Structure 1
Amino acid sequence: MSVQERKQRERADRERLIVATARELAERQGWDAVTTRRLAERIEYSQPVLYSHFRGKREIIGAVALEGAAELAAALRSATRAEDGPRARVTALARAYLDFAARNPAVYDAMFRLDGGLAFAREDTPAPLKDAFAAFLETLGEVAGEGVHPALFTEVFWAALHGLATLTREGRLPPADAERRTELVVDRLAAF
């Protein structure tokens, strides 16, 4: 291995460490606890080293969001792959999304509530975000209904799930009816 290759590998390892540490800190204490000073202390590098990877917290949030989008896409595909029939796949997709949001609140915030400097629904949208949307579309496209554009339907279905995830997390919806809400979204929105 050349010196250049070794340096590139070390740089990539440091970057993964920064993102993993930021994510862990945010999941335990919230995003307000994630500061460049704190991250530098935790990873045992100086702040200038951290800034050589990311220009600041906003870019770190963006990196966590991209990582989360890849994980969400994998979770959605995994949940729907084993299901037989459109209703079962859509229900599994909805449950997987809501479960991801509940299990990863800081990552979910980085993806959808905080400014990570990422473009959504544009040509320059990063590949992991496009892939997460594609994971939705793969299942939801088949239940959009006659005359409904599959991507538009996917956006509406996703928005409904996002609303459920956010309102549930904020304690504004009673947890006892969570499964009934999921079934209602699936039954009312999808054309089976």
Structure 2
Amino acid sequence: MSVQERKERERAVREHLIVATARELAEQQGWDAVTTRRLAERIEYSQPVLYTHFRGKREIIGAVALQGATELAAAVRAATAAVDGPRERVTALACAYLDFAARNPAVYDAIFQLDGGLAYAQEDTPEPLKDAFAALLECLAEVAGDGVHPGLFTEVFWASLHGVATLTRSRRLMPGETDQRVELLVDRLAVL
């Protein structure tokens, strides 16, 4: 292994450590607790080393968002591949999405709520964000209905899931009724 390859590998390891530590700290204490000073202390590197990887917290949030989008896409695909039938796949998609949001609130916020400097629904949207949307579209296109653009249908279904996830987490919806909400969403929006 060349010196250059070793340096690149060490850099990638440091970057992974920064992102993992930011994510862990955000999940434990919220994004307000994630500062470059605290991250530097936790990973035992100086702040200038941190700044060689990320220009600041915004880029760190963006890195967590991209990692989370990859995980969300994988969770949705795994859930929908494990069942047969369009209704079952759409229900599995909705449950996997809501489960991801509930289990990873800080990551979910990084993807959908916080400014990580990422472009959404644009030509320059990063690939992990496009892939997360594609994971939804793959399942939802088959239930969009005649004359309905599958992408538009996916946006509306996704927006509904996002609303349920966000309102549930903020305790603005009655607890324990998620299954009924999913069933209603699938029944009303999906053409089965």
| TM-score normalised by L of structure 1 | 1.00
What does residue 38 of structure 1 align with?
A: 38
Q: What letter corresponds to residue 93 of structure 1 in structure 2?
A: L
Q: Which residue of 1 aligns with 2:103?
A: 103
Verify: 1:186 aligned to 2:156, yes or no.
no
| Deviation (angstroms), 1:59 | 0.1
2:76 alignment counterpart: 76
Q: Does 1:51 align with 2:84?
A: no
Q: CA offset at residue 175 of structure 1?
A: 1.2
Quote the Cα distance in structure 1 between the aligned partners of 2:171 and 2:112.
Answer: 18
Q: Distance in 2 between matches of 1:4 and 1:17?
A: 20
Query: What is the Cα deviation at residue 152 of structure 1?
Result: 0.3
Unaligned runs of 5+ in 1: none
Deviation at 1:82, TM superposition (A): 1.1
Structure 1 residue 178, shift from structure 2 partner: 1.2
- Letter of the 1:173 counterpart: L
Deviations 1:19-53 (A, max 9, x none): 00000000000000000000000000000000000
Partner of residue 124, structure 1: 124
- Residue 6 of structure 2 is matched in structure 1 by 6
For structure 2, which runs of at least 5 residues remain unmatched after alignment? none
1:106-134 per-residue CA deviation (whole Å, 9 max, x = no partner) reads 00000000000000000000000000000
TM-score normalized with structure 2 length: 1.00
Amino acid at match of 1:187: D
Distance in 1, matches of 2:178 and 2:56, equals: 37
Task: Give SS of 1:120's match.
Answer: coil
The alignment yields a C-alpha RMSD, in angstroms, of: 0.4
Letter in 2 for 1:67: Q
Partner of 1:60: 60
Q: Show CA shifts across 1:130-171 (max 9, x none).
A: 000000000000000010000000000000000000000000
Aligned to 1:176: 176
Letter in 1 for 2:131: D
Which amino acid counterpart does residue 66 of structure 1 have in structure 2? L
For 2:25, the equivalent position in structure 1 comes to: 25
**Matched ranges for 1:141-160 at <5 A:** 141-160=141-160
Matched residue of 2:125: which SS?
Answer: coil
Paired residue total: 192
Alpha-carbon distance in 2 for matches of 1:55, 1:38 = 15
